[in-house]
Structure 1
Amino acid sequence: MEKLFDLDYMLKSLPRIVEYLPVTLWIALLSMLLGSIIGLATALIRIYKVPVLAQLSTLYVSYIRGTPLIVQLFLVYYGIPKFLYFFQSEYGFLQQLNIYVIPPEIFALLSFSLNLGGYLSETFRAAINSVDRGQFEAANSIGMSQTQIMLKIVLPQALTVALPNLGNTLISTVKDTSFIFMIGVVDMMGQAKIMGARALAFFEVYVAVSLIYWLVCIIIERGLVVLEKRIRIYERSE
């Protein structure tokens, strides 16, 4: 008689799925870092209305926010090798690069970074615009440059305002990494699919991987709460 749920297999699958947790975390964390850099740069370009770049940045943000992440992942995975091959064959560029051995993790990292850059640009733009304009005027009156004002006055306050949204984005990114198995990256979700196919126990391994994602997101959430409290305490003590 077939079991409704094989608890023993689920428990055995947990440590084998956890082995791939570092893959999930490094892609999520590194893409979050790169996405934050892209997002901040895009936000500043739009705030200061840099000619041409501001219009391109608006188009970039609109495209990222208006298309699914999975589509962007496939566009990067299939599109970049196609462009590289074209430039190699037509113009002789990057002949030393073997596009067929580029790890799929690189494409996953790039697509996630670009996706996060589009969303985080709006987070940073709103946070920077929330800083009291009087502080800009006061800093200008004492001779501070625009760069000094941004680095020493605006960004520290803006990052505090943006922290809750940054935390939510990080949690979402950890969960969204489950897509990367579709381009050949074996992470936790990929390992769960492999184990489920081998034993025909998909339900059990999906329950197992869901519990791991849940626990990881709880830990991240608790860590962010502690960080936010420490920042608030530091602000009040100033």
Structure 2
Amino acid sequence: MKWDFSFIWTAFLDLLPALPTTLYITAVSVSCGFVIGLIVTLSRMYKVPVLSQIGTAYVTFVRGTPMLTHLLIVYIGLSMLLDHLSDKFGWSFNSVSIPMIGFAYIAFSITAGAYLAEVIRSGLLAVNKGQLEAAYSVGMTTFQALRRIVFPQAFAAALPNLSNSLIGMLHGSTLAFTVSVVDINAKAQIVASTNWKFPEAYLAAALLFWGLTVLIERGTALLEKRINVYNRGGVA
């Protein structure tokens, strides 16, 4: 087999139209996952009845099972549930009404939520408890103390792990092709199948993912440097 190195650039250009899909999946999953993770973390740390137990079970189950399993469970299970309810109540809305990328959003947000819950928890635990007590001593409420003092320091401590989670979800988004979402990975397969130049097409996809990863790493490094300028040693 002979490599066609000129085709790598051609394949790279062909993959660019699929780039927004990959970025959308990553951004939506991480954003929604962060909200889920924050709720789960606070409910566990403050031992909210019922919610803390549910949160612990959720984190344990999701982190103990593969992303592909989550996607298939959501895709098949949610479709069956919606179709059943649609038939029972006569709804016009059913599983066909949901775009395929919607299932990826839901499944990957659930996955990201479990992992980010642990990232957020590690960041909060890195903040000295005396910071919270000092906030109470000057009359702040718990919400004010968390927003003004604890969360900024926790964010600084958790930033490297947040970056790793973002990169992990970027790479994990390639599984979306299993539910017919044309992301970078799926587009590479289409390009390769059309031209029978699989190594070149997949290498082009790898280079594109590598470039995105480098951008995330550089962005994180700049943000971390900027945060450390204002850090006065509040994080233990």
Q: Normalised by the shorter chain, which TM-score bucket?
A: over 0.9
Name the residue aligned to 2:59. 61
- The CA distance in 1 between the partners of 2:129 and 2:226, in whole Å, is 26
Name the residue aligned to 1:77. 75
> Aligned partner of 1:5: which letter?
W
Contact 2:25 2:105 in 1 (8 A): yes
More displaced stretch, 35-44 vs 138-147: 138-147
C-alpha deviation, 1:99, in angstroms: 2.0
User: What is the aligned counterpart of 1:159 among 146, 155, 162?
Assistant: 155
What are structure 2's unaligned runs of at least 5 residues?
none
The answer to whether structure 1 residue 140 and structure 2 residue 136 are counterparts is yes
C-alpha deviation, 1:236, in angstroms: 4.6
Name the residue aligned to 2:86. 88
Summarize the Cα distance change of 1:48–1:236 in structure 2 as closer, same or farther, 3 Å threshold: closer
- The CA distance in 1 between the partners of 2:222 and 2:131, in whole Å, is 28
Name the residue aligned to 2:204. 208
More displaced stretch, 215-224 vs 3-12: 3-12
User: What is the aligned counterpart of 2:3 among 5, 16, 36?
Assistant: 5
The answer to whether structure 1 residue 131 and structure 2 residue 127 are counterparts is yes
User: What is the aligned counterpart of 2:194 among 188, 193, 198?
Assistant: 198
| SS of residue matched to 1:60 | helix
User: What is the aligned counterpart of 2:180 among 177, 180, 184?
Assistant: 184
The answer to whether structure 1 residue 17 and structure 2 residue 4 are counterparts is no
| SS of residue matched to 1:20 | helix
The answer to whether structure 1 residue 218 and structure 2 residue 214 are counterparts is yes
C-alpha deviation, 1:121, in angstroms: 0.5
Name the residue aligned to 2:37. 39
- The CA distance in 2 between the partners of 1:44 and 1:221, in whole Å, is 28
C-alpha deviation, 1:88, in angstroms: 2.2
- The CA distance in 2 between the partners of 1:179 and 1:77, in whole Å, is 12
Percent of aligned pairs sharing the same letter: 38
> Aligned partner of 1:217: which letter?
T
The number of aligned residues is: 234
Name the residue aligned to 2:112. 116
| SS of residue matched to 1:110 | helix
More displaced stretch, 151-160 vs 96-105: 96-105
More displaced stretch, 10-19 vs 179-188: 10-19
- The CA distance in 2 between the partners of 1:138 and 1:107, in whole Å, is 45
Name the residue aligned to 1:106. 102
- The CA distance in 1 between the partners of 2:191 and 2:204, in whole Å, is 11
- The CA distance in 2 between the partners of 1:237 and 1:177, in whole Å, is 37
C-alpha deviation, 1:8, in angstroms: 2.2
C-alpha deviation, 1:142, in angstroms: 2.1
Give the TM-score, by structure 1 length. 0.94
- The CA distance in 2 between the partners of 1:150 and 1:96, in whole Å, is 44
